[in-house]
């Protein structure tokens, strides 16, 4: 039996030191989170996407009493971008979570969102930078492949 190790590389970024692009994505994700529809969990998530032409899109989680009919912020944003701008690739996404109006520690996308991020990378032929935003720091992931190393693919 051979043991195989899978390693990923993440970058820890102080919120105060984010680049202008990442700060703009973080701010948009925060605005999106404030508009989330989360009457059951009270856990609001926002996502902001930068497309290759400079367009920015947002999404927020949308819950439904008929669980699991809701949708995560990441997929709302990715699907809106794909529907509105099918020829523009996704360059980066920022994700942030809030509870009671307070930014939480960074969160990572669920498995379904990871799979959608990965297929979006495959669709456009390049990695998507993923910024997991927390109150005082963020984690930068270079690619969805790093979040889903043993992924389902075509």
Separation between Cα atoms, residue 145 and residue 141, nearest integer Å: 9
Query: Of 36, 62, 33, whose CA–CA distance to 48 is shortest?
Result: 33
Q: How far is CA 3 from the centre of its chain?
A: 31
Non-local CB neighbours of 42 within 8 Å, separated by 6+ positions: 99, 100
Tokens standing for 13? 């970024």
Catalytic residue among 2, 3, 74, 119: 74
121 is catalytic: no
Give catalytic residue positions: 74
């Amino acid at each position: 039996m051979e043991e195989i190790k899978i390693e990923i590389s993440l970058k820890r970024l102080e919120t105060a030191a984010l680049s202008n692009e990442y700060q703009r994505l973080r701010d948009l994700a925060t605005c999106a989170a404030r508009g989330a529809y989360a009457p059951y969990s009270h856990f609001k998530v926002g996502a902001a996407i930068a497309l290759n032409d400079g367009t920015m899109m947002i999404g927020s989680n949308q819950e439904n009493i008929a669980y699991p009919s809701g949708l995560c912020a990441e997929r709302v944003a990715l699907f809106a971008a794909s529907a509105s701008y099918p020829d523009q690739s996704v360059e980066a996404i920022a994700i942030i979570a809030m509870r009671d109006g307070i930014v939480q520690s960074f969160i990572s996308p669920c498995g379904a969102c990871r799979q959608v991020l990965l297929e979006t990378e495959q669709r456009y032929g390049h990695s998507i930078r993923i910024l997991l935003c927390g109150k005082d720091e963020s984690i930068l992931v270079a690619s969805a492949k790093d979040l889903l190393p043993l992924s389902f693919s075509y």
